[in-house]
């Protein structure tokens, strides 16, 4: 009985959110027409699926949108289009009026050569550079940055890596951290791979490399590795979002329901469902939180009595709504339908693929990695007991570093 009451209450809450999202859709279209030189259309009225885009962008159901509520606002919007636009931004390079404009958030716009922010660390640091180095590219997960690796993992790798020269390359993925967040980008897997090529593989002239990725970064790592199977020595995937129990035509929608199902509890899952299902409510949330992140950081320090805010907390707001929205749908959801093809390419090329997954992971359940192992027996699966999506690394930094060293060494001497 309690379960039924909760289900009804949840349905009513999200029905209300359906209505609010439609109202915000009209509101934002009017504001964008007056405040932006080149407004960007939303996906509410666009039902046409494009090849590289996830069907979840246009396939999210909304009761009021399906009833035609947006058509009633058509004349008002047409009237707005006839007005002269003042335009506070030009084209797709600058941030939108609803995004943060502080120096740290827009510093990438000032760069003439738009490349990803990359942090490079070489071990051992007290020895001259050798040509026979091992290159390792680290890719972070959703709402994170290169700091996830540099602050947590790199310091525990310094001691084990004295036998061989290593160059560790941590990347801020497109749309996150200090990397570019262009509004004209749709943040597809192709976009991510091309930016990593432009920012890492080509300028550093990598002839071989290892890949280490967490969460969303795993999908991008597989796409990159599948393009360069002859250069990749090993691929380590930590908590990948792999779902194989759906047909290709519905897999993206199934992934959205799995990783961001509509629920009121716990709070983190509730926030994830709002940000993933509601384009305009998500933008409103980013307007309140991300645009004013410096104020929230000061409030956080005041209540916690800390002198600084953890990089993990800061990274949660280092994105625009446009970048986070498209990464969720085009990488996490849409990218899932390509993962089998990528893994098959790597297995056929005899690239070592290792998956590390916590048995308590509720964000990307262990069952997905288990299914991956069943489908591709040559993939190695390491199940970490009593670990969830983050603690699989955060609570076992030294062990994780040792595991990486073992994987790299085994791949090097094979």
- Active-site residue list: 140, 215, 361, 389
Cα first-last separation, the chain: 59
What strands, in cross-sheet order, belong to the sheet with 232-238?
118-123, 166-171, 134-139, 209-214, 232-238, 352-358, 380-384
Strand-pair partners of 166: 123, 134
Residues in contact with 302: Cβ distance below 8 Å, sequence separation at least 6, in sequence order: none
Assigned token pair, 370: 């288990």
Beta-strand (E) ranges in 287-376? 352-358
CB 366 within 8 A of CB 357: yes
Longest dimension (CA), the chain: 70
Strand-pair partners of 237: 213, 355
Which of 304-336 are b and which e, b meaning 16 or more Cβ less than 10 Å from the residue's Cβ? eeeeebebbebbbbbbbbbbbbbbbbbbbbbbb
Q: What CA–CA distances, in Å, run from 121 to 128, 151, 154? A: 14, 12, 8
Q: What is the SS3 assignment for 114?
A: coil
CA 304 to chain centroid: 28
Beta-strand (E) ranges in 317-362? 352-358
């Amino acid at each position: 009985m309690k379960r039924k009451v909760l289900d009804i209450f949840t349905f009513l809450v999200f029905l209300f959110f359906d209505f609010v999202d439609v109202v915000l859709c009209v509101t934002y279209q009017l504001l964008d027409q007056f405040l932006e030189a080149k407004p960007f259309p939303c996906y509410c009225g666009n039902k046409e699926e494009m090849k590289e885009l996830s069907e979840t962008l246009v396939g999210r159901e909304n009761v009021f949108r399906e009833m035609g509520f947006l058509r009633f606002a058509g004349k008002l919007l047409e009237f707005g289009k006839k007005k002269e636009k003042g335009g506070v931004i030009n084209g797709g390079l600058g941030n939108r009026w609803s995004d943060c404009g502080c120096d740290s958030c827009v510093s990438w716009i000032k760069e003439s050569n738009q490349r990803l922010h990359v942090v490079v660390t070489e071990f051992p640091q007290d020895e001259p550079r050798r040509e026979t180095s091992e290159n390792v590219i680290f890719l972070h997960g959703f709402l994170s940055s290169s700091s996830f690796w540099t602050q947590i993992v790199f310091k525990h790798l310094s001691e084990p890596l004295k036998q061989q020269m290593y160059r560790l390359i941590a990347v801020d993925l497109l749309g996150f951290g200090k990397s570019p967040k262009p509004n004209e980008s749709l943040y597809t897997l192709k976009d991510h791979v091309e930016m990593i090529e432009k920012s890492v593989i080509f300028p550093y002239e990598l002839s071989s490399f290892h890949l280490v990725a967490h969460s969303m970064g795993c999908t991008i790592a597989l796409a990159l590795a599948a393009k360069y199977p002859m250069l990749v020595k090993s691929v380590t995937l930590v908590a990948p979002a792999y779902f194989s129990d759906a047909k290709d035509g519905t897999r993206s929608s199934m992934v959205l329901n799995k990783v961001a199902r509509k629920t009121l509890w716990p709070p983190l899952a509730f926030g994830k469902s709002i940000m993933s299902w509601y384009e305009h409510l998500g933008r409103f949330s980013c307007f309140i939180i991300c645009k004013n992140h410096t104020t929230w950081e000061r409030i956080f320090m005041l209540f916690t009595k800390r002198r600084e805010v953890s990089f993990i907390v800061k990274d949660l707001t280092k994105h625009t709504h446009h970048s986070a929205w498209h990464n969720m749908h085009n990488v996490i959801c849409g990218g899932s339908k390509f993962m089998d093809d990528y893994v098959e390419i790597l297995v056929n090329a005899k690239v070592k693929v290792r998956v590390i997954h916590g048995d308590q992971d509720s964000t990307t359940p262990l069952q997905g990695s288990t299914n991956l192992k069943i489908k591709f027996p040559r993939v190695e699966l390491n199940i970490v007991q009593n670990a969830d999506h983050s603690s699989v690394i955060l609570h076992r930094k030294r062990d994780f570093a040792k595991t990486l060293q073992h994987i790299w060494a085994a791949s090097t001497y094979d």
